[in-house]
Amino acid sequence: MRRLAVLVLAAIALFVMMPAGPRQLPAPPAGLVPGLRGVIHVHTNRSDGTGSVDDVMRAAASAGLKFVIVTDHGDATRAPDLPDYRGGVLYIDASEISTGNGHVVALGLPKAPYPLAGEGRDVVDDIHRLGGLAIAAHPGSAKPELQWTDWNAPLDGLEWLNADSEWRDERAWTLARVLLTYPFRPPQALALMLDRPDTVIGRWNELARQRRVVGLAAVDAHARVGVRSLGEPYDTAGSLHFPSYVNSFREFSIDLSNARLTGDANADARTVIDAIRDGAFYSAIDALAGPAALRVDATGEDRAHLRVEAQAPGDATITLFRDGAAVASAQGGVLERDASSEPGVYRVEVTLPGSPGTPPVPWLMSNPIYVKRAPEPASPQSGAGEPGRSAARTFMTLYDGGPARGWVIEKSPEPNAAMDVIGALPGSQLLLRFAISGTAADSPYAAFVMPAGAAIVMYDRLVFTARADRPMRLSVQLRASSGGEGERWHRSVYLDQTPRTIDVAFSDFRPIGTTTSALPVLSRVDAILFVIDSVNTKIGSNGQIQIDDIRYGR
Ligand SMILES: [Zn+2]
Ligand SMILES: [Zn+2]
């Protein structure tokens, strides 16, 4: 009798905790068809996921997706798999790169010529040089080391929603509710952890006013959860295959509204990546209601007449935002707005009553629409690493051919390094040769060190010309030896076979480790170092740099 009472109570408790099932919407009217649905940010067993690429693609087919963008952790030196149809679903291979400022998802990259790593701004710069898109991963993670911290880097997008961030800020009660109801309504149980991430969306609004920055809902699926440190996919003590790929894929997705696939995997992968680059998609929490369809048209003179149409239940609310502030809303499926006297960056959110989260997660999220205001085109980082001229007008020469007086080589035990003066037209220049060997744990490096001189305090930048025998990154460092171990600040620059004028402003240098000042203290700097290290140079590789015309400028 007591056992029956316990069972009845448990059943009632489960009933109370059970999330609502997905709301089934009727087929949308013509002109408002669901587009091409897929997911981005999936890990396989090549990094910290549990399934193979084929497992992932099978799950995607079961979830009714048309494409999957796999983003295993790496430094982009693994040649990506070619786009491929598997079980009718387009497989696009991409990567998630760890930087000193958080993780960035890189789409559309070829195999990188050297490991992409280091500061966020440099990795974004490299991704752009290689023709890819840089998307800040889980920028609002509750785990500080997973947050994105360089908002000046010219990102192409950010994950406005990331399932791995979402569970981290939940209370134990919600997590218990998710676990207990997951066996019955898996996608809906997972959606209980979602919120509207206001801080990340606020950041997105700010960035979108400066340039085109797209926002994606990213599943960050590993099909794995650690048992010891609850939830950590990296927990090596043991893990559960939870949530499954297919249930993650049924929770939410992105919908490329107008993209059409042809069956040619290469061309179709380009179509998908271009649609993401252009922001021609929206995010949909499919666990709440579906099949969703959303169309935002900007028509008329100046494309200032906005018309939003959604396949939405009657109690849905469409909200139109301008530069981050709500300016109009409507119940049901249509909202119209004449924005001709209100230039700005517009965005649409569609919400459903009773959605999970505080504040509730939007059911549909559009991308920015620019009305009478063009975003500035995404530009590469100014200054460092680009061929060009110096911004300075006054110079003091430090080296211009001939013997390198006062220079020394410093290195860790394993690597080799040598310095020669070679003939050049006109005059001569320095040839720096290096071979980086050792183990990653030793952080091998080779450094070419020149005296800084007292005059550095009168200048605000270092200018030199350089080329390398292959694409690489060189770390330019300022060192203040006084006070024990000394302090260093650095700026990483890109080099390849094309000779370029490198102009690095001292205000662009960043500390290495702990320093007493965020910016270099020029009065104490006594050495300039040109460093090749294992951050961006593969251990076991060698190369050479020709360097000349080293100057201070202001
Ligand atoms: Zn990550
Ligand atoms: Zn990830």
* Averaged pLDDT for residues 332-351: 94
CA of 143 to the centre of ligand 2 (A): 13
Residue 260, pLDDT > 70, answer yes
| Cα 162 to averaged position of ligand 2 atoms, centre (Å) | 9
pLDDT at 304 over 50: yes
Output the pLDDT for position 232: 53
Nearest ligand to the CA of 103 is 1
Q: Distance between CA atoms of 138 and 22, rounded to whole angstroms? A: 26
Ligand 1 center from residue 146 Cα (angstroms): 7
Q: What is the mean pLDDT of residues 526-544?
A: 96
Alpha carbon distances (Å) from 397 to 262, 328, 456, 462, 492? 59, 61, 11, 10, 21
Report the C-alpha gap between 107 and 274 in whole angstroms.
10
- What mean pLDDT do residues 282-298 have? 94
Rounded to the nearest angstrom, the distance between the alpha carbon of 374 and the centre of ligand 2 is: 32
Q: With 60 as the cut, is the pLDDT of residue 409 above it?
A: yes
Distance 164 CA to ligand 2 centre (A): 8
Asked which of 70-74, 270-274, 388-392, 471-475 is least confident by mean pLDDT, the reply is 388-392
Lowest average pLDDT, out of 17-21, 203-207, 483-487, 520-524, goes to: 483-487
Q: What is the pLDDT of residue 103?
A: 97
Among the bound ligands, name the one nearest to the CA of residue 141. Answer: 1
Ligand nearest to the CA of 72: 2
Rounded Cα gap, residues 282 and 368, in angstroms: 10
Q: What is the mean pLDDT of residues 143-155?
A: 93
User: Which ligand is closest to the CA of 137, given by its number?
Assistant: 1
Q: What was the pLDDT predicted at 382?
A: 44
pLDDT of 244 reads: 92
pLDDT of 481 reads 87
Q: What is the pLDDT of residue 157?
A: 98
Mean pLDDT calculated for residue range 172-178:
87
pLDDT of residue 462: 97
Which ligand has an atom closest to residue 222 CA? 2
Residue 21 confidence (pLDDT): 86
Between CA 505 and CA 524 the distance in angstroms is 17
* pLDDT value at 264 more than 90: yes
Q: What pLDDT shows up at residue 228?
A: 46
- pLDDT score of 226: 54
pLDDT (0 to 100) of residue 191: 94
Angstrom distances, CA of residue 497 to CA of 125, 245, 470, 544: 18, 44, 6, 10
pTM: 0.93
| pLDDT for the residue numbered 327 | 97
What digits encode the pLDDT tens for the residues 201-233? Answer: 999 999 999 889 999 999 998 877 654 444 555
Instruction: Give residue 10's pLDDT.
Output: 86
Give 173's pLDDT tier (boundaries 50, 70, 90). Answer: confident
Segment 96-101 shows an average pLDDT of 97
Which ligand minimizes its atom distance to the CA of 71? 2
Report pLDDT for 384: 45
Tell me, in angstroms, the distance from the centre of ligand 2 to residue 219's CA: 8
Q: Which ligand has the minimum distance to the alpha carbon of residue 218?
A: 2
Tokens representing 68 are 């999957």
Average pLDDT of the segment spanning 490-515: 95
Rounded to whole angstroms, how far apart are CA atoms 308 and 174? 34
Instruction: Give me ligand 1 centre to Cα 137, in Å.
Output: 6
Task: Give me ligand 2 centre to Cα 45, in Å.
Answer: 12
Q: Over the stretch 100-130, which tens digit does the pLDDT of each residue have?
A: 999 999 999 999 999 999 999 999 999 999 9
d(Cα 280, Cα 295) in Å, to the nearest integer?
10
Among all bound ligands, the one having the nearest atom to the CA of 48 is 2
- State the distance from the centre of ligand 2 to the C-alpha of 235, rounded, in angstroms: 14
| Shortest-distance ligand to the CA of residue 41 | 2
